[in-house]
Structure 1
C-alpha cells in the first residue's frame, strides 16, 4: 500500500476513542475522521467551550456521530486524575486512547513543579494513560497511540532521575531553550511508547502501544514558539500542503490500520519525513535505549504517583 489515506480507515462502529487536545489541529482532524467512521469519540480538552465548538463542527459533517467532551488540563495532575475518573465513570471500555495534545515554545513550570513542556507532553499523558488503562486492558485490539515529533531527534534525557530542572524563570538563572525542552518531551513520548509496549507484551495484554508524528503540519502548536522557529515551520507546512488532515494520517494509521503492530512508529513517507503519506518510520537511537526507557518509566511513576495496573 503506497499511499494510505483517510479512505483506508476501517469502519469504527462499536469502538470508543478518547483523543486529547481534540478541539484543534491534528487532534480535531483525528477525532473528526474517527467519528465519521462511526466511533464514539470523547474529546479531552483543557478548554470546554472550544471542545464543544469542535463537537458542533464535527456534527455538521457527521450528524450521526456520538461525541462527548471531558475537561483535561495536562499541566495539572489533579486535573488529569479528575478527567480520568470522569472517563472511567462514563466508559466501561476504551478501544483507543490517542495522546495527541501538546505544547511548544512555552517556558516555566506546571502547577506540580515540572518543566511545562515535559510536564504536559509526557508526564500528563503518562499519568492519564495509567489511570484509564484498566478500561483498555480487557478489550481485544485496543491501542494507545502517542503523538511524537521529528524534533525528538534533537532531544536528550541525560539524567532521568532529575526531571525537575533547576533552571527556570523563577530562579533568576537563564531559562532552558524552549525548542530543546520540547524535543526532550517528544523523545520521552517515544521512550514511553516502547516501554509501554514491552510491559504490555510481558503481561500478555491484548492492548498495544504505538507512536506517530505528523511531519510538517500547519497547526496552532507553534503559536507560542519563537519566531525563528515558528515562521519556517509554518511556511514549509503550507508550501508542502501539510494541512491538519494530512498531519493526522500517521496517527490514524497507527490507531486503526489492521496491519499496524505494537511498538511501531508512523510518520510521513516523503523527504525527511516532512511530507507524504504515512508509513512505518524509524526513530532515533536514543529513543531505543531500553535501559533509559525503563529508568524514565520508573521516574515518571515516582513523579506522577501513578502505578500502572498490569
Structure 2
C-alpha cells in the first residue's frame, strides 16, 4: 500500500475533507447548512455525515463506479480506468476520471489531490486502506456482494449511493427498469419453452497450461438473476459466502446433467485467452460433454460486468435470452 505523502497540499486537502464530515454551524447562527446534511450508515456500521449531496466522488471498485455512472454522477477518480473500460463497457464512463491506482491498492496521494466530497469503497478493501482513506475524505463503504441475497445487496448498494449523491429518483427508475427486464426475459424464455431449463454459467482462466473454471452458483448475482428468469442452476458445487463463486475443472463438468445449457463470458477484449473456445477445443473430456455435443455452449458478449448493477444485469438478461432462444 502506498503511504500517504506528507506534503502541505495533501495535508490541507485532507483537513478540508475531514472538516466536511463534522457538524456544520447550528441553526441558531442563522445557517441552514444543518438542514442540508445527509446522514448515512454504511455496511460497516460507520456513521457518515455529508454537508450536502456528494458531487466530487471517487470510486475504488468497479461496481460502485457503475452505480455512480448509472445514477448520472461522473466520478472524479476511478481505480484501474483501463480495466473498467474493458470489463464494464456496457455502462461506459462519460467523463475522463483520474486513474487512482489498482482496485486493491488505490493511491492515497492521487485521491487526496482530487479533494473528493466522498470516497466510495467496499468491504473487499483492507481495513488498513479504508483507515488511510478516512484521513483523506469522507468514506462510505458498501458490501459488494452477499450470496444470501445477491439482488437485494445490489439494490441496497445502489440506493445508499443514491442517497449520498442526491439521485434517489434515478435509483428508483433503475430499479423499475431492472424489474421490467426480468419480467420481459422470463416471458421470452417461457414463450420459447425454456422455463425451468438448467443453466450453468461460468468464466475461466488458464494457469500453468491448466484450465480452471469458476462456476456462478445460486449465490452469485448472475445465479440469482437466472433464478428470477425461471431457470434452474445446474451447478452442484458450493460458492463462497459473498460472491457465490466456486472453482472446478473440466473433469467435474461431467457431473452436469444431459440437458444443461452452458453460458460464459470469455474476456476476449481484455487480452485474455478464451479457455472454452481455444484451450479446450482439443480436450477429450470437454468434447464429450452433452452440452458441447449439442451446440449448447453460449459465449455472451464481453463488457458485461458480472458483479455490476442493474444496467449490467439488464445487458446480461438480454444477451442470455437472445442466446438461448436463437
TM-score, normalised via structure 2 length: 0.28
TM-score, normalised by the number of residues in structure 1:
0.29
Structure number with the higher helix fraction is: 1
